Amino acid sequence: SKKLRKRIEGYLKGEVETYDNYLTGYVFGYCIKDADGEDVDSCWGFYGDPEKSSLKEYVDDFIKNAA
């Protein structure tokens, strides 16, 4: 059906976009250190635009829960 075809096309476009981000190095992560320079949290594997990839939300959530 047309509805199923559109859904599959959407999935495939997302896969191609993610793979392109991987190939072009458009992948991000973060590392949070304490006052002594020790790692206290990190997370990697955010693909695409950092503003849209929820990276900021992860960091904000860590800071909120650490306080």
Q: Provide the mean pLDDT of the chain.
A: 91
Question: In which band, very low, low, confident or very high, does the pLDDT at 10 lie, cut at 50, 70 and 90?
Answer: very high
CB proximity list for 48: less than 8 A, separation 6 or greater: 17, 18, 21, 26
The H-or-E segment that residue 39 falls in is strand 39-47
How many domains does one find in the chain? Answer: 1
Handedness of CA 15, 61, 63, 37 (dihedral sign): negative
Q: What is the pTM of this model?
A: 0.68
Q: Which of 35, 34, 33, 27 is nearest to 55 (CA)?
A: 27
Handedness of CA 57, 60, 65, 66 (dihedral sign): positive
Domain with 24, as residue range(s), is 2-66
